[in-house]
Amino acid sequence: MTQKLLSTKEVAKFLGINEKMVYSLVSEKGLPATKVTGKWLFPHQLVEQWIEARTINYPEQKGKLPAQQGLVIVAGSNDPLLDATLSLFNSLYGEHLAVFGNMGSLGGLRALRRNLCHIASSHLLQDNETEYNFDFAQAELEQFPAVVNFCLREQGLLITKDNSKRISSVSDLGKSGIRIANRPLGTGTRLLFDRELAKAGLSGESIEGYQKEYHRHLDIGLEILSGRADAGPGIRAVAGILDLEFIPLRWERFDFMISKERFFDEGVQRLLGLLHDSAFKELANRFTGYDLKLTGRMVFPEDNMAKE
């Protein structure tokens, strides 16, 4: 379904402010807007997400996650190595159970804010295109979390093995007859993909399949493998699993975001400890497109968590 675009007058009415204030919010507060048509238009869904991200007064949570129930809940961005790691954790530590909620990076941070998980997995690229996750965590969470790197991984475009449509870059997705499969809003992969489309001067809505969203990287690959799509944003690991071609875009930092009050929970510490284990490294070697040079390292605070 095509996303509804609001005019300046409509978004002012929606927010309950005058139109002059709308322009201030665009320039000062990052109100989502586009000027593709020469005038400001506001994607309704992104405006709602912008409002939710800035909500600061929440009712107190009635029930807190119990610290020692043997359950480790990870929510956020989907990743094949993460799935395999949680399975390895469950096989090694029978007194614990690790489960994953596939909610996208932004969804994971919001689950962490609502105390629905112990760890949020996230790879949200910041505006400076250098750092990841920090700005989003600051916007979403009342208290800044501990940030531990899970891995570095390579993002790009998944394409058919024969590349019959001769796709060599993001700009080629604008060719007539190209069909893509896409990731949902709120995922780090979609954020990166939309940035790359904008750099190439392409409007996603003009590309067939842009509105077809799939919640796992593997699902994007399966759409391409089946011939229902010619390309889609994804990670090199999926190209290796499904024997697809891959056009690299960038390496990214995929992090665990952990609230400081849950950091020393036994299950959380066992999972973090596993990242330094040879069994995990052997597991990672079965995949392509990962780099473990930062794995298990404290990204924030920098190796001084235990001192706090």
The total domain count for the chain is 3
In this structure, is residue 126 part of a structural domain?
yes
Question: How large is the average pLDDT for residues 32-42?
Answer: 81
Q: Does residue 160 sit in the same domain as residue 245?
A: yes
What are the tens digits of pLDDT across the range 271-287? 999 999 999 999 999 99
Q: Whole-model pTM? A: 0.78
In this structure, is residue 66 part of a structural domain?
no
What are the tens digits of pLDDT across the range 111-167? 999 999 999 999 999 999 999 999 999 999 988 999 999 999 999 999 999 999 999
Handedness of CA 62, 66, 69, 72 (dihedral sign): positive
- Confidence band (pLDDT; 50, 70, 90) for 177? very high
Q: Does residue 17 sit in the same domain as residue 165?
A: no
Q: What is the CATH number of the domain that holds 160?
A: 3.40.190.10
Q: Does residue 178 sit in the same domain as residue 247?
A: yes
C-alpha 28 chain-centroid distance: 25
Q: Does residue 143 sit in the same domain as residue 113?
A: yes
Q: Does residue 125 sit in the same domain as residue 257?
A: yes
At 1 the pLDDT is: 41
At 63 the pLDDT is: 53
Q: Where is the domain boundary, 251, 283, 298?
A: 251
In this structure, is residue 60 part of a structural domain?
no
In this structure, is residue 65 part of a structural domain?
no
Q: Does residue 229 sit in the same domain as residue 286?
A: no
At 164 the pLDDT is: 94
Q: Does residue 160 sit in the same domain as residue 145?
A: no
At 304 the pLDDT is: 42
Q: Does residue 97 sit in the same domain as residue 240?
A: no
User: What range does the domain containing 184 cover?
Assistant: 155-251
What are the tens digits of pLDDT across the range 155-169? 999 999 999 999 999
- Confidence band (pLDDT; 50, 70, 90) for 305? very low
Q: Does residue 146 sit in the same domain as residue 261?
A: yes
At 302 the pLDDT is: 61
In this structure, is residue 63 part of a structural domain?
no
In this structure, is residue 268 part of a structural domain?
yes
In this structure, is residue 64 part of a structural domain?
no
- Mean of the per-residue pLDDT values of the chain: 89
In this structure, is residue 62 part of a structural domain?
no
Amino acid identity, residue 92?
A: L
Q: Does residue 106 sit in the same domain as residue 241?
A: no
Q: Does residue 242 sit in the same domain as residue 188?
A: yes
Q: Does residue 136 sit in the same domain as residue 273?
A: yes
